[in-house]
Amino acid sequence: MESVCSINNFVQCLLNLGIAPDLAQFINILLGVVLVAIVPLVTVIMLIYIERKVAARVQDRIGPNRVGPYGLLQSVADAVKLLTKEDITPLGADKFIYNLAPIIAFASVILVWAVIPFTPLHVGADLSIGVLYFMAVSSIGTVKVVVAGWSSNNKYALLGAFRTIAQLLSYEVPLVLALLIPVMLAGTMSMQGITIAQQGMWFIVMAPVAAVIFFIANLAEAGRAPFDLIEAESEIIAGYNIEYSGFKFGMFMAAEFIHAFTIAVLAAVIFLGGWSGPFVHEVPVLGFIYLGIKTFIIYLFSLVLRSTVPRVRIDQLMAFNWKFLVPISIINVLMTAFLLQVVRALGLAPDPAQATDFVANLPQAVILLLGNLVVIGIVLTMIRNTGRRQRLEDEARHAAALERELERVSAPAGD
Amino acid sequence: MVPLWMYLAVAAGLFCIGAYGVLSRRNAVAVLMGVELMLNAVNINLIAFWRYVSPLNMAGQAFTAFVFVVAAAEAAVGLAIIISVYRNRRSVIVEDVDLLKW
Amino acid sequence: MIELNVQTIAFLIFAACILGGALGVVTTRNLIHATLYLVLSLFGAAGFFVLLSAPFMAAVQVLVYIGAIAILIVFAVMLTRSMTRLRDIYNRQWVMSAIAAGLLFVLLMVGVILPVWGVGGAQAGREVSEVVASTAELGTALVSPNQFVLPFEVASLLLTAAMIGAIVIARDDE
Q: Does domain C1-91 have CATH number 1.20.120.1200?
A: yes
Instruction: Report the distance separating Cα C101 and Cα A348, nearest Å.
Output: 61
| Range A234-244 average pLDDT | 74
Q: For residue A1, what pLDDT band results from cuts at 50, 70 and 90?
A: very low
Q: Does the structure show a pLDDT above 60 at A2? A: no
CA of B65: which chain C residue's CA is closest?
C57
| Euclidean distance between CA atoms C168 and C174, whole angstroms | 12
Residue A415 belongs to a domain: no
Residues 6+ apart with CB under 8 A from A83: A246, A247, A250
How many structural domains are present in chain A?
2
Q: What is the ipTM of this complex?
A: 0.90
Give the residue ranges of DSSP H helices in A187-241: 191-197, 203-206, 208-222, 233-236
Contacts of C8 in chain B (CB under 8 A): 2
In this structure, are A104 and A41 located in the same domain?
Answer: no
The domain spans of chain C are 1-91, 134-174
Shortest CA distance to A208 belongs to which of A261, A267, A262? Answer: A267
* Neighboring chains of C (3 or more beta-carbon pairs < 8 A): A, B
Q: Helices C6-27 and B4-24: crossing angle, nearest 10°?
A: 10
Is the pLDDT confidence value at C112 over 70?
A: yes
Measured CA to CA, the distance from residue B95 to residue B92 in angstroms comes to 9
Average pLDDT across each block of 10 residues of chain B; the chain has 102 residues. List them in order. Answer: 85 92 88 92 91 84 90 90 85 80 71
pLDDT score recorded for residue A3 = 47
Q: Which of C72, C104, C121 sits opposite B16 (nearest CB)?
A: C104
Q: What are the chain C neighbours of B32 within 8 Å (beta carbons)?
A: 73, 76
Could you give the C-alpha distances from B17 to A105, B14, B40, C19, C150, in angstroms and in order? 30, 5, 11, 8, 34
Residue A350 is assigned to a structural domain of this protein: yes
- Selected for mutation to probe chain C from B27, B45, B85, B94 (highest C CB count within 10 Å) is B27
The kind and range of the H/E element at C88 are none
CATH architecture for segment(s) B4-91: Orthogonal Bundle (1.10)
Q: How far is C150 from chain B (nearest CA, A)?
A: 12
Q: Do C137 and B58 touch (CB under 8 A)?
A: yes
pLDDT (tens digit, 9 = 90+) per residue, A8-24? Answer: 566 677 777 777 777 77
Containing domain of residue A206, as a range? 85-398
Do both A129 and A40 map to the same domain?
A: no
pLDDT, tens only, A196-228: 888 878 888 888 899 999 999 998 888 887 887
Same domain, yes or no: A73 and A96: no
Say if CB A140 and CB C63 are below 8 A apart.
no
pLDDT at C124 over 70: no
Residues 6+ apart with CB under 8 A from A129: A189, A190, C55, C56, C59, C135
Residue C28 to residue C22: CA distance in whole angstroms: 10
* Number of Cα atoms under 13 Å in the Cβ half of residue A363: 13
Least confident segment among A140-149, A288-297, C56-65, C75-84: C75-84
User: Which of these three, A79, A98, A121, is where a domain ends?
Assistant: A79
Q: Do A140 and C66 touch (CB under 8 A)?
A: yes
**Residue C14 and residue C47: Cα distance in Å, rounded?**
6
Same-domain pairing of A54 and A96 = no
One domain for residues A64 and A96: no
B26 to C91: CB separation less than 8 angstroms, yes or no: yes
Mean pLDDT confidence for A292-305: 90
Most confident range (mean pLDDT) of C13-22, C61-70, C116-125, C128-137 is C13-22
Phi first, then psi, for residue C173 (nearest 5°) are: -75, 125
pLDDT of residue B2: 79
Of A37, A58, A79, the residue that ends a domain is A79
Which of B1, B62, B70 has its CB closest to that of C138?
B62
Looking at chain A, how many residues does it have?
415
Q: Which of B9, B53, B50 is nearest to C127 (CA)?
A: B53
Tell me which of B21 and C124 has the higher pLDDT.
Answer: B21
Residue type, A251: M
Top residue of C35, C41, C63 to mutate, by most chain A CBs within 10 Å, is C63
Residues pairing with A117 in the sheet:
A123
Same domain, residue pair A52 and A167 = no
Q: Is the pLDDT of residue A357 over 80?
A: no
Residue A84 clears pLDDT 70, i.e. is over it: yes
* Among candidate residues A375, B25, B12, A320, the one with its CA nearest the CA of residue C97: B25
Size of interface A-C (CB pairs under 8 A): 64
Residue C129 has pLDDT above 70, yes or no: yes
Nearest-neighbour CA in chain C from A161: distance (Å): 11
pLDDT at A286 over 90: no
The listed range with the strongest mean pLDDT (A12-16, A243-247, C60-64) is C60-64
- State the Cα–Cα distance between residues A167 and A101, nearest whole angstrom: 18
What 3-state class would DSSP assign to B102? coil
pLDDT score recorded for residue A169: 87
- Average pLDDT score over residue span C112-128: 74
- For residue B34, give how far its alpha carbon lies from the nearest alpha carbon of chain C (Å): 7
Residue C3: band (very low, low, confident or very high) from pLDDT cuts 50, 70, 90 = low
The span from the CA of A103 to the CA of A296, in Å, is: 27
AA letter at B101: K
A103-133 pLDDT, tens digit per residue, is 888 888 888 888 888 888 777 778 888 888 9
A355 and A227 together in one domain: yes
Distance from CA of B97 to the nearest CA of C (A): 14
Predicted pLDDT at B43: 92
My answer on whether A170 and A29 are in the same domain is no
Give the pLDDT confidence of A365-386 residue by residue, as tens digits: 888 888 889 989 999 999 899 9
**Inter-chain residue contact C35 with B19, CB threshold 8 Å:** no
